[in-house]
Amino acid sequence: MVTLLRLNDPPPFELVNAGGKAPCLIVCDHASHVIPESLGTLGIERDHLTEHIAWDIGAAVIARRMAELFDAPAVLAGFSRLVVDCNRYLDDPAAFVQISDTVAVPGNIAMTDTERAQRVAKVYKPYHNAIDDVLERFEDDDVVPAIIAVHTMTQQMRGRARRSQAFTVCWARDDRLAQPVLQRLGSMGTFEVGDNVPYGMDLGEDYTVPEHAMRRGLPYLQFEIRQDLVVSAKNARAWAELIHEVSADLVADPELRRVKLYWP
């Protein structure tokens, strides 16, 4: 049996600012475009591995800067969503996507059960276990944290219209953070803000926020920023600063951070 991860591969997650003092955890499911050495390129052209199908461009820079600004811990996934999508349930075909935005992924088409199990054990579970570990430390300290989930979205899927939204808030049922942030960004009038458009919080599809935040009754903010706006690290950090500006007081508010179960 071929070992999935080798010495040259990165770890399956990165924990940033582990000692952060803010009542907040930042998560980034699609932070990396790295493919384990043993998988090659999954059978796709190497150029595709830096496109949106492989990761959320700019998201890692945003997450790290937010961890610094909030003084909060952050957990970033270490491998590409093409290996296994850490924001999908494992019985969802999209967890091991075979075609992404018209690009076939041959390495995901003929996987054996053993190969699938290795990706789950070595990539998916360590990332989610790391999130659980941070949340358990908050619980041990009698702190109810907010979770902020960082995503970015391509400006245009192949063959479709260009997206006009610069920033989108994705939420379902629990809008404690979503609505104030939507109102504050919308009142600026400087860019188009999407309310669950073009992406929403899809219960039964999205995994990280429903399972780590909603199942615990924790407030959350999940957002998407259009990738052409965060290609440069400078611009990505500027967006992180804007998000901090419109949400820091909300995250710090103990009345807002009460445990409230909206799902399941």
Q: What's residue 201's pLDDT? A: 97
Q: Domain of residue 30: give its range.
A: 13-252
In the chain, the number of structural domains is: 1
Q: What's residue 40's pLDDT? A: 98
Kindly state whether residue 206 falls inside one of the protein's structural domains: yes
User: Number of helices (H) and strands (E), helices first, in the chain?
Assistant: 6, 9
Kindly state whether residue 171 falls inside one of the protein's structural domains: yes
- pTM of the predicted structure, to 2 decimals: 0.97
Question: What parts of the chain have a pLDDT lower than 50?
Answer: none
Cα 52 to its chain centre, rounded Å, is 13
The 10s digit of each residue's pLDDT in 212-249 is 999 999 999 999 999 999 999 999 999 999 999 999 99
The 10s digit of each residue's pLDDT in 145-176 is 999 999 999 998 777 789 999 999 999 999 99
Kindly state whether residue 261 falls inside one of the protein's structural domains: no
Q: What's residue 1's pLDDT? A: 66
Q: What's residue 167's pLDDT? A: 98
Kindly state whether residue 163 falls inside one of the protein's structural domains: yes
Kindly state whether residue 17 falls inside one of the protein's structural domains: yes
Q: What's residue 157's pLDDT? A: 79
**Residue 254 has which token pair?**
């103990």
Q: What's residue 2's pLDDT? A: 79
Kindly state whether residue 196 falls inside one of the protein's structural domains: yes
Kindly state whether residue 70 falls inside one of the protein's structural domains: yes
Q: What's residue 136's pLDDT? A: 99
- Nearest CA among 224, 178, 206 for reference residue 56: 224
What is the torsional sign of CA 50, 56, 57, 60?
negative
- Supply the CATH number for residue 94's domain: 3.40.630.40
Kindly state whether residue 51 falls inside one of the protein's structural domains: yes
Backbone φ and ψ of 239, nearest 5°: -65, -40
**Residue 250 has which token pair?**
């909300």
